[in-house]
Structure 1
Amino acid sequence: EPEGELIEHPLEPHFEGAQIIRDVIVGLADGLTVPFALAAGLASLNNSRLVITAGLAEIVAGAISMGLGGYLAGLSEIEHYDNERIREVHEVETVPLREEQEIAEIFEPYGISADIVKPMVDVLKQNKDVWVDFMMKFELNLEKPDKNRTWISALTIGTSYFIGGIVPLLPYVFISTAIDALYVSAAATIVTLFIFGYFKAAMMGSRHPFYSAVQMAFVGAAAAGSAFGIAKLI
């Protein structure tokens, strides 16, 4: 290897769709458990038509509600970031020495002294926007939210909820006896959770996707079982 020559190394792959996966998990998990519990509670009446009608109504309403919830959560995140940035701009303008000290404190746990940090601080001070962006990310641990993601998040969560809700409801469409359909619905829900958990872990680079799949199936089954038990008691 020639001295002074830079050697290019392949970058390790990193999954960049974590936010989408998070939204899919939120929507799919609720979509699988809530409609399942409702359908299971109504299955005791042994009327598959009633289960399908009520289940579809719940899925549509739930998908809209979950989507709106994701949208409002995104708006709140944007508002929080904007408010914190206004405050940080004010501090940089009015108490710059304190902000410089905070930069040194950020690096102190890593064994980097203030003397080493000072040249970087001098560079940051030359551009107020860059300085504020640095403080937002490394002092407050806030990433600038993508304003376009509010609608993407809403659609992802709502669609995932709808798809998840269809899974436990389908057996009631093809099986006339509601009680028999309930057992198939429970199995389909758990299997879907397992498959999704496996692929979710694999996409995010997990070394143990099977463990993640079992975990998601267990948690989902526990949630669905609890919801079913409460529905039966009511």
Structure 2
Amino acid sequence: MHPGEPHDAGVSGRLNWLRAGVLGANDGIVSTAGLVVGVAGATTSTGPILTAGIAGLVAGAVSMALGEYVSVSSQRDTERALLDKERGELADFPDEELEELAALYEAKGLSSRTAWLVARELTEKDAFAAHADVELHLDPDELTDPWQAAGASAVAFTTGSLLPLAAILLPPAGARVPVAFLVVIAALAATGYLSARLGGARPARAVTRLVTGGALAMAVTFGIGALVGTAVT
């Protein structure tokens, strides 16, 4: 084992959170960019673009936070129910649970003798923790907090949304859409590369997917905005 190589579960958990943050920021970039570029296709007035961008940012952040809260709460409720059931089984059927734990270790490749030895020692130390880990693949002390997940999603989405919003508002009216397009494409390439590296995937494929999808979204919304703007005027 290399001394600098991360092997603990905490590192894996932090990487999962970081990946989720990158993906949340990417959602903010794409959705807000599509919205403000679409409005910019209909009008060069700053007011409607700013209003649409802020509305999209707030609505998206709230939606992301609420969806994450509901999802993580459901997952946490399920995990707690499984842990409570395991506690009850350990209290009511300790011998059967010991046999089950030994069988699980044997299924992982340990010899029968070693599996029983490990099962007995872990049961004497903390039977509940041993079963939660091997049988349920859960850490009772590390269940995901739905409020933390909701807040992280809202922050990530808001952070991503601010970039296209600034890119469309800061340049002169005639350069807004080209500047926003280039900034968003660069941001999508960066988030695609980072998410791929964190997930151990090939960056080129992830970058291509994100850049292509983001460019298509902006092109479609700009075209619709231009058609609607022309029809209204």
Which TM-score band (shorter chain)? Answer: 0.7 to 0.9
Question: Take 2:186 and 2:219, find their aligned partners in 1: how far apart are those partners?
Answer: 20
Question: Take 2:30 and 2:141, find their aligned partners in 1: how far apart are those partners?
Answer: 30
Question: Take 2:199 and 2:191, find their aligned partners in 1: how far apart are those partners?
Answer: 14
Residue 30 and residue 145 in structure 1: after superposition, are their counterparts in 2 closer, same or farther (change >3 A)? farther
Q: Tell me which amino acid in the other structure corresponds to 2:36.
A: A
Select which of 32, 38, 55 maps to 1:41.
Answer: 38
Q: Secondary structure of 2:124's partner?
A: coil
- Residue pair 2:129, 2:139 contacting (<8 A) in 1 also: no
Give the alignment's Cα RMSD to 1 decimal: 3.1
| 1:109-188 aligned within 5 A | 109-126=107-124, 130-144=126-140, 146=142, 149-177=145-173, 180-188=175-183
Q: TM-score, normalised by structure 1?
A: 0.76
| 1:190-229 aligned within 5 A | 190-199=185-194, 204=198, 211-212=202-203, 214-225=204-215, 227-228=217-218
- Residue pair 1:36, 1:165 contacting (<8 A) in 2 also: yes
Q: Does 1:12 align with 2:4?
A: yes
**CA offset digits 1:189-234 (Å, max 9, x no partner):** 12112234445566x596x8xx42x444323234334544665569
Q: Tell me which amino acid in the other structure corresponds to 2:129.
A: D
Q: TM-score, normalised by structure 2?
A: 0.76
Matching residue of 1:3: none
- Residue pair 1:168, 1:189 contacting (<8 A) in 2 also: yes
Runs of 5+ unmatched residues, structure 1: 1-8
- Residue pair 1:66, 1:161 contacting (<8 A) in 2 also: yes
Residue 192 and residue 183 in structure 1: after superposition, are their counterparts in 2 closer, same or farther (change >3 A)? same
Q: Tell me which amino acid in the other structure corresponds to 1:25.
A: V
- Residue pair 1:63, 1:159 contacting (<8 A) in 2 also: yes
Q: Does 1:83 align with 2:81?
A: yes
Question: Take 2:89 and 2:216, find their aligned partners in 1: how far apart are those partners?
Answer: 49
Question: Take 1:226 and 1:88, find their aligned partners in 2: how far apart are those partners?
Answer: 50
Q: Tell me which amino acid in the other structure corresponds to 2:27.
A: D
- Residue pair 1:104, 1:117 contacting (<8 A) in 2 also: yes
Question: Take 1:147 and 1:120, find their aligned partners in 2: how far apart are those partners?
Answer: 25
Question: Take 1:230 and 1:193, find their aligned partners in 2: how far apart are those partners?
Answer: 17
Residue 194 and residue 10 in structure 1: after superposition, are their counterparts in 2 closer, same or farther (change >3 A)? same
Runs of 5+ unmatched residues, structure 2: 226-233
Question: Take 1:39 and 1:67, find their aligned partners in 2: how far apart are those partners?
Answer: 22
Q: Secondary structure of 1:126's partner?
A: helix
Aligned residues: 218
Question: Take 1:147 and 1:97, find their aligned partners in 2: how far apart are those partners?
Answer: 28
Q: Could you tell me the percent identity over the aligned residues?
A: 22
- Residue pair 2:83, 2:140 contacting (<8 A) in 1 also: no
Superposition deviation, residue 138 in structure 1: 1.3
Question: Take 2:183 and 2:37, find their aligned partners in 1: how far apart are those partners?
Answer: 13
Select which of 67, 70, 82 maps to 2:68.
Answer: 70
